Amino acid sequence: MGALHDGHLALITRAKEVAAGRGTTIVSIFVNPIQFAPDEDFQRYPRPFEQDWEKLVRIGCDLVFAPPADAMYRPNASVSIHETSLSRTMCGASRPGHFDGVCTVVTKLFHLVQPDFAVFGQKDFQQLAIIRRLVRDLDFPVRIISLPTVREADGLAMSSRNAYLSPEERAQAPSLHQVLEAAAARVREKTVLSPDQLIKWMRTALETAAPLAKIDYIAVADPATLEPRQDLDGPLVLALAVYLGRTRLIDNTLLE
């Protein structure tokens, strides 16, 4: 959605590596109105297109697709894509309709661009899982490539929304990653016995480390289904979302 940072540029670098010598690297920049709820930050979402353009030129992107909203959505548009399983939990539960907007715009982008592959980051683990399901269920001839979350030096996941944070909020924001990593260590060391115990510990740790944070959710989920886990054996994704002021931040860690 623009406001490009080093996390986005890492995705583009990976796309250029895969396409080297045999294809074109295309970047879409589109602040998608239908994935925002009425009370969310669509109007104030950063749109520094000129700065984004300069970064894309420097990194060697071949083509930018940046359509206006009225070119993507007709006034009487009445068809959308609805995912019914992976979007029921986590951000899907907190933001009803959000992933319908994501699935619809990604479907349109894939139809319009017809890519051979597409690169997405793991910071939004749920979105990545849903896009993989979208490609599978709608038989898109697109290979999805994922990249690990790119972080600031203090561990905060890079996000365009980080620019919203006040200095006090920014100082507490790295606690999200720190709590996730500490929770993962407790799983590996078997010092917690159940997902409920782990979530309780994470909540207390986050409230202590980041008193400005308002917790949206903390999840211990199956990486394949995104359903809550009933035990701590096998692969897990630990995910959370918090508000620091008006800014909603997400992060996760995967235990394989």
Which domains are present in the chain?
6-147 (3.40.50.620), 160-255 (3.30.1300.10)
In sequence order, what are the beta bridge partners of 240?
Answer: 218, 251
User: What DSSP designation does 158 have?
Assistant: P
Cα R_g (the chain), whole angstroms: 19
Annotated active-site residue in 5, 8, 82, 98: 8
Asked if residue 176 lies in contact with residue 154, where contact means CB atoms within 8 angstroms, the answer is no
Backbone angles phi, psi at 147, to 5 degrees: -130, 145
What pLDDT sits at residue 22? 85
The SS3 call for residue 255 is: strand
User: How confident is the prediction along the chain (256 residues), in pLDDT tens digits per residue?
Assistant: 999 999 999 999 999 999 998 899 999 999 999 999 998 999 999 999 999 999 999 999 999 999 999 999 999 999 999 999 999 999 999 999 999 999 999 999 999 999 999 999 999 999 999 999 999 999 999 999 999 999 999 999 999 999 999 999 999 999 999 999 999 999 999 999 999 999 999 999 999 999 999 999 999 999 999 999 999 999 999 999 999 999 999 999 999 8
Q: pTM to 2 decimals?
A: 0.95
5 is a catalytic site residue: no
What pLDDT sits at residue 21? 81
**Hey, which bits of 138-212 come out as E strands?**
143-147
Backbone angles phi, psi at 149, to 5 degrees: -60, 135
What pLDDT sits at residue 121? 96
**Hey, which bits of the chain come out as E strands?**
26-28, 63-65, 117-121, 143-147, 213-221, 236-244, 247-255
